[in-house]
Amino acid sequence: MSESPVKQWKTERIAAINKYLESEKRKDFIDDAYIESLISAESKPDQARVNDILAKTGELKGLSAEDTAYLLNLNDPETWARIFEKARFIKNEVYGNRIVLFVPVYMSSACVNNCKYCGFRSSNSGMGRKVLSEPEIRAEIKALTHSGHKRILAVFGEDGSSGADYIAGAMRAVYAEKNGPDEIRRVNVNAAPMFVNEYKKIKDAGIGTFQVFQETYHKETYKRLHGSAHIKSIYYWRLFALHRAQEAGISDIAIGALFGLYKWRFEVISLILHSLDMEREFGVGTHTIS
């Protein structure tokens, strides 16, 4: 019996990804053992070192993994009060007294992956699947702009029906929908990792921020939660997803982790290392960390 179109697309996609990864030259920047050693080391309050680290943040310079781990391991209320005070300073320096709202719009819920923590997982047979048509997208956007919204986060499942061409088309439909003087000015996208040529298609459609969350950077936990026979099972394909996005010219990218899947300190250090590695290669790190 031949494969269904969905299974055939998934099989071909996995084969193409594995072939691509054979020539991937980037070095894995997540050393699980090293990160574990950082977060397990007890930090004794040393005001000279704390002052030095906080001085770096005051100059809006990023912290190293080592400095970050040192602060995370402190258990001193007075020092943490100083850390929160510095965090408020940085927020105000970068963003000012400003809040930006966006609306998540789920464009497609079809997904071939089977993440244990996700309601959209492929094994959830009780869930209805939907891929919005252009008229449906425009109707959603009309309702949102009528309420005054200017920015959306377009969310896509990983499926052959919602690849780069569909994403680019959905973005153009969003921008094309005018409601008098009201319109969506920025479309951010949360979608599956792509190849460089696919990223270029959505860049040409006028993307704002592209986000891919690693979910968990801890390799054994990642494997346990994502299985071994799915596109999302391929850890390194996802780890370098945003490197490829920047390679395609999308400089506004967002990373993230789902706290609770593994040790939160491990994930924080990994997020720092992720951004630092992109800054090393491209001269710019992540725009957003979620």
pLDDT 10s digits, 74-90: 998 999 999 999 999 99
> Do the Cβ atoms of 165 and 130 come closer than 8 Å?
no
Q: Nearest CA to 258 among 217, 203, 198, 210? A: 217
**pLDDT confidence of residue 195:** 98
Comparing 1-10, 202-211, 242-251, which segment has the lowest mean pLDDT? 1-10
How far apart, in Å, are the Cα atoms of 21 and each of 81, 239, 241? 45, 12, 12
pTM of the model: 0.94
**Residue 126 has what DSSP assignment?**
T
- Average pLDDT in the 64-76 region? 93
